[in-house]
Amino acid sequence: MVSFSNTKIAFTGKSNSDLSRSYLLFKLLSKPAWVKLGSNLTLWALKFHLPIKWMVKKTIFKQFCGGENIDDCTETINKLGDFGIGAILDFSVEGKESETDFDNTMQETINTITKATQSNHIPFCVFKVTGVASFDLLEKVTANKSLSDVETVAKLRVIERIDKICSFAATAGIPIFIDAEESWIQQAIDDLADMMMKKFNQQKTIVYNTFQLYRKDRLAFLESSIEKGKKGSYKVGAKLVRGAYMEKERLRAQEMGYPSPIQDTKQDTDKDYNLALKVCLRNIDNIAICAGTHNEESSLYLSQLMTEHKINNDDKRIFFSQLFGMSDNLSFNLANEGYKVAKYLPYGPVKETLPYLIRRAQENTSVEGQTGRELGLIIKEKERRKNEGK
């Protein structure tokens, strides 16, 4: 059985100064009031062009991002690759709304695929549909509202952009993740993902949809997606995550008076996540999965399922994944046991990645036990190095 408590393996790629920086950062993230204050002050300072970019870049940006552009990420990609861990390049610039911005994001995603063809350490690429489409348009499509002539043309451009990305990925042989987003735009995203899987996944799993198991309906949707793939003679790509918009989802449901789509308890989410793993392994000849999780129990459960189904640790149909800068005890120990592992590696200009960085800070503050686990592991490794030497 793989162990996630070996800090020597977990932090083998970190110097003492790296560990000290991470310790101070997670110590700060353990204080919700400081996170809120720091986030607000950072946004305020950047708005008024105060010279704090260097501080952000040396601290939270360095912890959670690979660089400001693709080339900046090369050193981190190679370093992860030295330990058998892949990198998933994620252009984390958000909040764009013009057609020019959408085209630029499409091209940037294609650039990440090109980068992946030049490295053995980039097993996947990824994009958000809101990076290449208007949020309002996706919301209208999901709600089945009539589109104006202008919106109809815009929708066709969205399909064209996504088709270009997926076609380029298929030609390059690089799988591509389509990220999940808010529930009130997700149906439009799911329909696009299904369209692309049917077109490009006939021979090999190229396109992956993302299933957020903190939603009450996603386990059933996963099962129906697998059946749809069987009937359509294509393979399903599934990235399994718990989810990233819980507070926003619940607040909107409350304000608009509809039942929340989010599971009532964390235990319900954990149960569905592990059931989803079980469903996928039972249908492994028709699906390829990436288990995106920082949960030790789910990671261990997947490794046990692989043993039960007599699936080799290095089977390319099954990847484990964590965010860069977090849960190295999972990533490095899994990779050390020969499992396929990849880190999500966000990149982009410091100012434009701030929404992502603030979410990471808030997540580490709000997710039960996350910061405590990170701090505990760092402290354990610092003590080990002090007592034993690196």
Domains by residue range for the chain, with CATH: 1-65+353-390 (no CATH), 68-347 (3.20.20.220)
Extract the runs of DSSP E, i.e. beta strands, from 3-149. Answer: 85-91, 124-127
Of the candidates 239, 169, 160, the residue with the CA atom closest to the CA atom of residue 192: 160
Tokens for 199, please give them: 């077109």
pLDDT classification of 245: cutoffs 50, 70, 90 = confident
Q: Is the model's pLDDT at 39 over the cut of 90?
A: no
Contact 184, 139 (CB under 8 A): yes
pLDDT at 350: 82
CA distances from 210 to 66, 201, 219, 222, 241 (A): 23, 15, 12, 9, 7
Q: Is the model's pLDDT at 149 over the cut of 60?
A: yes
| Angstrom distance (rounded) from CA 60 to CA 223 | 38
For the segment 268-294, the average pLDDT, to the nearest whole number, is 97
For the segment 18-33, the average pLDDT, to the nearest whole number, is 82
Strand partners, 342: 86, 321
pLDDT tens digits, 151-200: 999 999 999 999 999 999 999 999 999 999 999 999 999 999 999 999 99
For the segment 96-101, the average pLDDT, to the nearest whole number, is 89
pLDDT at 343: 97
pLDDT classification of 205: cutoffs 50, 70, 90 = very high
Look at 386 and 55; give whichever has higher pLDDT.
Answer: 386
pLDDT tens digits, 329-370: 999 999 999 999 999 999 998 877 777 777 666 665 555 456
| Angstrom distance (rounded) from CA 130 to CA 63 | 25
Look at 279 and 369; give whichever has higher pLDDT.
Answer: 279
pLDDT classification of 28: cutoffs 50, 70, 90 = confident
Strand partners, 288: 237
Q: φ and ψ at 327, to 5 degrees?
A: 55, 45
